[in-house]
Amino acid sequence: MNEKEYSKYVEGRAKKSPILKNCAFAFLIGGTICTLGQGFFHLYTFLGMDELDARTLVSVTLIFITTLLTGFGVFDNIARFAGAGTLVPITGFANAVASEAIDSKSEGFIPGVGAKIFTIAGPVILYGTFFGAIYGVIYYFITLIWG
């Protein structure tokens, strides 16, 4: 069997994905996560925090909740149901880091957790920083030209 025949065989056997259903669940769960974050923001400002501190605490709260749910194995079940909806950047990133830490815990804190905690998140940090810097340089020169 050559590569073309194998690809055709795999396509015929692969389970078809219900795209509209998956998009709806992703939208609903992602929107729920964002709404939850907005609710925390309103709660923190209601309790007397200024907006900057409240925004920071919302991020910390969402990271904490995601990490806690990941540790208890709940976040993975939510992700199976919601798909890409859980990839709202802060929760997806927290889940990726926490999952790696949990998976490599048995190897020890230094060679396991310390070495592998950013296995998935590392490329995101690297390329996010790299392309953010490129964007910044382009933006700088565009503002110099068109002021």
Q: Which two tokens stand for residue 20?
A: 């509209």
Residues contacting residue 94 through CB under 8 Å, at least 6 positions apart: 62, 63, 66, 67, 70
**3-class state of residue 118 by DSSP:** coil
With helix as H, strand as E and coil as C, how does 23-53 read?
A: HHHHHHHHHHHHHHHHHHHHHHHHCCCCHHH
Q: What does the pLDDT look like over 88-127, one tens digit per residue?
A: 778 888 888 888 888 777 777 777 777 777 777 788 788 8
Question: What angle (nearest 5°) sits at the alpha carbon of residue 16, between those of residues 86 and 85?
Answer: 10
What is the per-residue pLDDT for 133? Answer: 95
| pLDDT value at residue 110 | 78
- One-letter amino acid of 99: S
Domain boundaries, the chain: 29-117
Question: Per-residue pLDDT tens for 6-52?
Answer: 888 888 888 888 889 889 999 999 999 999 999 999 999 999 999 99
Say which residue the tokens 């964007």 belong to.
Answer: 135
